[in-house]
Each structure stands twice: as C-alpha cells, then as structure tokens.
Chain A
Amino acid sequence: MSRLAVNPNRMELLKLKRRAAVAVRGHKLLKDKMDELLKQFLGLVRENRELRAEIEAELAEAYGIFAMARSEMTAQEVEEALEYPVAKLRLTAERRSITGVKVPAFRLTAEGDFDSYGLGLTPASFDDAMRRFNRLVPRLVQLAEVETAVMVMAMEIEKTRRRVNALEYVLIPSLQETISYITMKLDELERFYRTQLMKIKSMQEASSGAL
C-alpha cells in the first residue's frame, strides 16, 4: 500500500489521525448506506420480477386476442378503426426518495373511453383485447417506474460500493500506514535526541570530572 508523501512531523500526524478518523467514520456510514440500499434494491428487484412476469403474461394474452381479432379484418380496417383514439393519457413525472436516492414517480391520469371504433363491423373480441390493453397501461407505467428505480438504485449502489472500497482498501490503509510511518519516524527521532542528549550529558560529565 502506498504511503502518502507528507513530512513526518507531529502536525501532519495529527492531521492524518483526524483524516483517518473521519475516513473510518465515513466508511462505516457508507457501508450502512450500502446495506440499506441493497436491502431496498433487492425488494425492488423482487417487485420488478413479479410485476414483469405478470405483465408479460397479460400482454401475451392480450396480444393473442388482438392477433386473432386483427386477423378477422384487413390491415386497413384495423387502422381505420384505431386511427383516432378518444382516450387521452397524461403522464407526469415526479421524484421520490429511497434512502436518499432520487427515483422517478410517474402519475398517470386517463380520460375518455378506450373504445373509439364502431361496434357493428369490428370483431367483438376487439373489446376484450382493448380492455386488457387499457388495464395494462397503468401497470406498464408502474413497471417503468420500478424498473427505472432499480436502474437508479443499481447505479447508486455501484457508486457507493466504489466509495466504500476506495475507503476500505485505499485511503484508510494508506492513512494508517502513513500514520504508523510518521509515528515510527517520530519515535526514532525521539530516541535519537534522547541518545544525543545522553551522550552530551556523559561527555559533559566526563569533561567536568577531568577538570
């Protein structure tokens, strides 16, 4: 582990000790944050998996019904029937916070009926397919919200993990190494001065005895 390039003096030692204490505290906080993020993330992933499986099954069913209904008409007749829908959807995106991470919160408001076509010449199964699609729209928005939250959380976890690792494996060890290096250096200096003093003292005593 690389040692920091600092002068080995008491001032630096004090500074480094302070920095190390902050780093350790920060590391602990970030680790706690990451644990909490992971907990929330796993919950969201589970929710996302269940929601996606449900929606995919429902979509497959709705598309199956629509495919059969669509095959009873020409492409132009289908297009004519669905060309000008009456239903209007308004999607607003807000933000909510999950353990300090800002994730989007979508709000969907719908107005108007989904049936914008004539009932006499379109197949009756059209209604079933359209009703299913109509019911699926809010759930798709919910899925989009959860999936975006999962993505944002994953990025945040990755970022936090990098910080934790940087603290745990780079900064804190190098601070500790530098601290121990300075401590050692200072101890050595102290021992040197002590020895020097002792030598001077013994030399003084020797010269005064000789006089």
Chain B
Amino acid sequence: MSRSAIYEGPKSGHGSRGRAPAGPGRAYGLLARYRRYRGPLENLKVTREPAKYGYAVGRIKVREMGLLNSQRLGRLIEADFDEALHILEEADYGDYLKGSRVASDVDAGLMRFLQDLYELLREITPAGSHIAEFLLDRYDFHNLKVLLKQRCCGEQNEGPMLDLGTLDPEALRVALENPAKLPQHLVGPVLEVLALPEITSQWVDTVVDRHFFEHRLVLAREEHSGFMEEFARTSLDLANIKILLRAKNLGKDAGFLERALAEGGRMGKVWMAALVTQPAEEMLRALGGSRYAAGLLQFLGVEDEQIRLTDYDKRADDLMMAQLHQARRIAVGVEPILGYIRGRENDVAVLRIILMGKLHNLSPEAIERHVRRLYVDKERL
C-alpha cells in the first residue's frame, strides 16, 4: 500500500470501495453485522481471507526475533546510558541510536526506526487491507491537530508535524484550505472544530482525538477482524476511562465529557459523562463494575479528592499488550501483523522511557516502574 498525498480510500483486491462517512450511526450498523467479542480466544480467527496476509506474516515472523525480550530489558534498565546503547547494538535498534548523546538524538533515532518500520508495513500490507491505515492514521490525526491549531492561532510554520502517517503532511495542509478535498474521515473533526464557539488548543485535541478513536473502530470493523475490533474498542474504552478520570481531577463538567468521550465503547458515553458529577470514590466504584476493574481500576486510589493516576498509562498499556499477545497464537492473518507492529511501537516507547530516564539520572527502580510489558515477554504475562 503506497502512501497517497490525499486519501483515496483503501485499494481493494475486489475493486475500490467507496467509504461512507464515519460516525456513530454507521459504527453501530457495522457492529450489528459482526460478531460481538465474547472472550480473548473466541474471536481470534475472524479475519476474512487470512491467507492474503501469508506473505506479510512470513516477513514479520523473521523479524520478531529482533524484538526486545525481558532478559535484554533487565540489562538495559541496570546499565548506564552508554552501556544501554552498547546493549542495543545487539538488537535491531543499535544502528538507529548509535552516537546518541541527548534526548533529541534518541528521539530522532527512534523516529528513523519507526519510519523504516512503517515503510515495511506499507510494503507488506496486501491490497484491500486497512491495517496500515489502522496503525498509521494516528499520525494523520496528529498532523491535523497541529494544522488546526495553527489555523486557529493564525500561524503558518512547519510546526511539530510527523511524517509517519498515511497522508503527506504538506498535502494535508493544502487540503485543509478546502475541507471538501480532505479525506472523508478528517472532514468530520475539521467541521466540528471550526463550528466550536470558542476554539482552544484543548478543544482541538479533544474533538480530533475522539474522531480518531471512533475512526479506528470503524476501520477495524471494515477489516472484518474481531481481534482488531476488540483492540480498537479496548483502546477506546481505556481512553474514555482516562479522559473521565482526568476530567474529574481537573474539575471538568459533563458538557466537556460529552464532547470528549468517544462513541462505540463498551460503556455508555452518557452514563460515563454523568459520573463526573459524583464523588471520586463513587465514580471509581461505578467503574469498578466494568471488565477493566481487575487489571486497572482496582489499583487506583483517591487522595485529597484527586484520583491517583500515576500508574494508569502503564497498566492500560500492559492490559492492551496482554490482549495483543494473543495475536502470537494466530498463524496467519492480520492479527500477527497488528501484534508485531504494536510490539515494535511498544519497544520504541520502552526504549524511550529507559534512555530518557538514564539521561535524566533516574534510578533503575524508577525507570522499571514505568517500563511497559513487552510483546514477547511471556514471563510477565
């Protein structure tokens, strides 16, 4: 799948299909067409035509050996910065990080790694698959946020754009001048942002992020993969919970949450938005009835009317990784590709945490507290 300047819809082996506008109504319609998720193992093989991913899976299975493992991770955590770079030379990341001295070097090295990884993804993605778009469109939404903020603040500079998505950032900038030229899934957030009575940086992020999660769910459904759908819905749920808990801590009202929470999750948006008016303990108790109580919410506490969220991201990421780890049990399909790419992205996040921690002189124990579960780490599952 090659990257287009302007989105033209996924290329299908069965001819190009047009795309209906993304939105909750369509999402629920699609939902009815596919099986609901009933457990981690039941939906493992629902990809339509798994054989078309055979070549891609073959390519990535070879590369899985280069993923970080717990043994290497332990050595990295204990090592100092230079030693850590030396250890990484044994893995696939060494060439990208060689000679790094400061945080920006680490960032640039890891960014180069991601560029190569996504290049591989584009190369191996079969026609008609949404997997590349599913994994990369967060960068398009990121660029859209940058451009919308610049437009609202009357600025026109390069900005912190990321050239990793499915759309060329400059083409997106040009297309934003005329929203009709934008890809269908980006029209909604742009029009919603421009219609806001007061456009602030936070509202831009809030609206665009919500559209991102909803769009990803739609893409997962279009891929006909229960596993991907499960992944998209879990990440949407975890983001919704995070937004709710943070909104409570920051004193936001239900109106904010109605705009911020994404549709299509397992928990009702209206129900969640109403929780913000309740005391923190009550809110946690209400959320405790969800499927995320055991691995995530039970670890949260309340201190001075503030919900302690220190470990939330780590636990949420670990939960996602535990779910993703099931993909390794599937021989052929879109799932191992999703697992591998997310595994690599997780490695990049872990490396950034370790190396930044080392650069900021944080203790190994402090770094270890933030390090995420690895994709190939069986022991920690």
B362 within 8 Å of A by Cβ? Answer: yes
A185 to B212, CA, bound (A): 102
Inside 8 A of A72's CB, which chain B residues have their CB?
313, 349, 352-353, 370
Choose, from A23-31, A36-44, A110-118, A191-199, the stretch at the interface: A110-118
We find that the number of chain B residues with CB closer than 8 angstroms to chain A is 51
Shortest Cβ distance from residue A88 to the other chain B in the assembled complex, whole angstroms: 12
B contacts with A: majority SS: helix
The number of chain A residues touching the other chain, given as a range, is 20 to 34
Inside 8 A of B246's CB, which chain A residues have their CB?
119, 124, 127
Shortest Cβ distance from residue B245 to the other chain A in the assembled complex, whole angstroms: 7
A116 to B159, CA, bound (A): 17
Inside 8 A of A64's CB, which chain B residues have their CB?
360, 362, 366
Given A83-B201, A116-B202, A74 contacting B247 (CB threshold 8 A): no
Inside 8 A of B310's CB, which chain A residues have their CB?
124-125, 128
B142 within 8 Å of A by Cβ? Answer: yes
Inside 8 A of A118's CB, which chain B residues have their CB?
145, 202, 204-206, 208-209, 260
A117 to B159, CA, bound (A): 16
A122 to B316, CA, bound (A): 13
B239 within 8 Å of A by Cβ? Answer: yes
Inside 8 A of B46's CB, which chain A residues have their CB?
none
A86 within 8 Å of B by Cβ? Answer: yes
Is the beta-carbon distance between A71 and B356 smaller than 8 angstroms?
Answer: yes
A80 within 8 Å of B by Cβ? Answer: yes
A77 within 8 Å of B by Cβ? Answer: yes
Inside 8 A of B206's CB, which chain A residues have their CB?
118-120
Shortest Cβ distance from residue B205 to the other chain A in the assembled complex, whole angstroms: 3
B243 within 8 Å of A by Cβ? Answer: yes
Inside 8 A of A71's CB, which chain B residues have their CB?
352-353, 355-357, 370
Task: Write the chain B residue with the least CB distance to A130.
Answer: B250
**Partner among B149, B160, B239, B309 whose Cβ is within 8 Å of the Cβ of A127:** B309
Inside 8 A of A81's CB, which chain B residues have their CB?
205
A155 to B309, CA, bound (A): 48
Given A75-B160, A83-B160, A120 contacting B243 (CB threshold 8 A): yes
A102 to B8, CA, bound (A): 69
> Which B244-284 residues sit within 8 Å CB-CB of chain A?
245-247, 249-250, 260, 262
> Which B68-100 residues sit within 8 Å CB-CB of chain A?
none
B107 within 8 Å of A by Cβ? Answer: yes
Is the beta-carbon distance between B309 and A116 smaller than 8 angstroms?
Answer: no
**Partner among A79, A113, A125 whose Cβ is within 8 Å of the Cβ of B313:** A125
Task: Write the chain B residue with the least CB distance to A77.
Answer: B142
A120 to B310, CA, bound (A): 15
Inside 8 A of B200's CB, which chain A residues have their CB?
84, 86, 116
Is the beta-carbon distance between A120 and B249 smaller than 8 angstroms?
Answer: no
A72 to B309, CA, bound (A): 15
Is the beta-carbon distance between A120 and B356 smaller than 8 angstroms?
Answer: no
Among the interface residues A64, A67, A125, which one has the most CB atoms of the partner chain B within 10 A? A67
A74 to B210, CA, bound (A): 20
> Which B310-368 residues sit within 8 Å CB-CB of chain A?
310, 312-313, 349, 352-353, 355-357, 360, 362, 366
Inside 8 A of B142's CB, which chain A residues have their CB?
76-77, 80
> Which A93-119 residues sit within 8 Å CB-CB of chain B?
113, 115-119
**Partner among A84, A85, A121 whose Cβ is within 8 Å of the Cβ of B239:** A121
Knowing that A71-B357, A74-B110, A84-B201 touch, tell me 18 more A-B residue pairs with CB under 8 angstroms: A64-B362, A67-B362, A68-B370, A71-B353, A72-B353, A84-B149, A113-B250, A118-B145, A118-B202, A118-B205, A118-B206, A119-B243, A120-B210, A120-B213, A121-B209, A121-B212, A124-B313, A125-B309
List residues of chain B with CB under 8 Å of any chain A CB: 103-104, 107, 110-111, 138, 142, 145-146, 149, 153, 159-162, 200-202, 204-206, 208-210, 212-213, 239-240, 242-243, 245-247, 249-250, 260, 262, 309-310, 312-313, 349, 352-353, 355-357, 360, 362, 366, 370
